[in-house]
Structure 1
Amino acid sequence: MSEPLKGSLVQLENLTEKDLPVLWDLLFNEDYPEWRKWDSPYLTLQPIEYEKFYDQMLNLMKQELDKQLLIKVSDNIIGVLFYDWEHESSNSLEIGIAIYHPTYRDDQYVADALITWMDFLFYTFPIPRIGLTTWSGNERMIKIGKELGMMEEGRIRKSRLYRGKYYDSIKLGILREEYENLTIKKNNPSIMDI
């Protein structure tokens, strides 16, 4: 992707080398950041030295330039979006989002970033559907996904253990034809109602 993708509230851009210090700080500046409570908290995120992070990210950027984009508001990095092929030969694609900056965890920023990303992915790839997997402890993400037209397609019960309690893995998805019929679209003022 050469040009940034503009939503109503956010802009999606390729990660560049100059962004790495800010991204590292958002990820590792606190021992227990607020964003970790919602972004797969049952997975361990080990702090790493900046130099190692820098080398790993440069390598990743060379391999998968468009698979991960920064979410920005007024040139400030607030999070990332990504996609991954669940099964590329079947055109089965999954997306994910993480908002690191506490000021922008509002549903409107998340919804705008997701709509802008889904527009790009449906336009770019001949995919029949976009999936998003989260966990039952992230009720806001489930709510936003459903408000954006995604349906709960699967629930793997008690598959995520977090702080001694089991949670479900939730699979959401939207088909291309469902997405094309949505009244909520990128740059549509109605997205502000979410």
Structure 2
Amino acid sequence: MQTPDLLSGEQVILCKVKKQDLDTWWELIHNDEHPEWKKWDAPYYPLRQVPLDKFKEQMSNLIDQGYDRKYLIKVDDEIIGMVTYYWEHESSQWLEIGIVIYLPEYWNGGYGTDALKIWIAHLFETFPIPRIGFTTWSGNSRMLMVGKKLGMVEEARIRKCRLYNGKYYDSIKMGLLREEWEALQQ
């Protein structure tokens, strides 16, 4: 299946990952041993450092195969983050999404909401899925707010299961049915 190279929103453009983006993307992920963005993106899992050459080799191989599970988020041709999807259980069409905005100056400005809106629309157009969802933690209030803005509902809460900096947080699963999305688009 051929997927578009660009998906345009009001504030951002989602771009298929290209080889010329790999150095910059790697730097956004690995330029700091403890990056600010990782404090919000599942910080209870350590960031696995990947050498640049290995990252470029792995991603180049995926790009050559038509990889479309991650798109970079760009503003004025600058990479600010990425969106992704993965199959929780492909045979039952259970698809989950994720997002990272690496640059703090783009937090709280609607960029993540715009990116996910484009991404959700693209995924509902691309796959015969009944639902899209994501999992976050109760310490990430911005992600919870984005989900609500997009019409998602809290579907599950596993209490006090994420330990971060000596404190327990809840794991929260949010989801959106195709018919709910379509009703919101009218």
Please give the TM-score of this superposition, normalised by the length of structure 2: 0.93
Q: Which moved more, 1:78-87 or 1:29-38?
A: 29-38
Which residues in structure 2 correspond to 1:1-194 (within 5 Å)? 1-63=3-65, 65-182=67-184
After TM superposition, give the deviation of residue 63 of structure 1 in Å. 5.0
Taking structure 1 as reference, are residues 113 and 49 closer, same or farther at Cα in structure 2, changes over 3 Å only? same
Query: Is the 8 Å Cα contact of residues 9 and 112 (structure 1) preserved in structure 2?
Result: yes
Kindly, what percent of the aligned residue pairs are identical? 55
User: Size of the alignment, in residue pairs?
Assistant: 184
State whether residues 136 and 168 of structure 1, in contact with CA within 8 Å, keep that contact through their aligned partners in structure 2.
yes
List runs of 5+ in structure 1 lacking aligned partners: 186-194
- Matched residue type, 2:83: L
Question: RMSD across aligned C-alpha pairs, in angstroms?
Answer: 1.5
Tell me by how many angstroms 1:155 deviates: 0.7
After TM superposition, give the deviation of residue 60 of structure 1 in Å.
Answer: 3.5
Return the TM-score normalized by structure 1: 0.90
Deviations 1:102-130 (A, max 9, x none): 22122410100000001101111111110
Runs of at least 5 residues in structure 2 that lack an aligned partner in the other structure: none
Which one-letter code corresponds to 2:171 in the other structure?
Answer: S
Structure 1 contact 107–144 (Cα < 8 Å) conserved: no
How far 1:48 moved relative to its partner? 2.6
2:184 match: secondary structure: coil
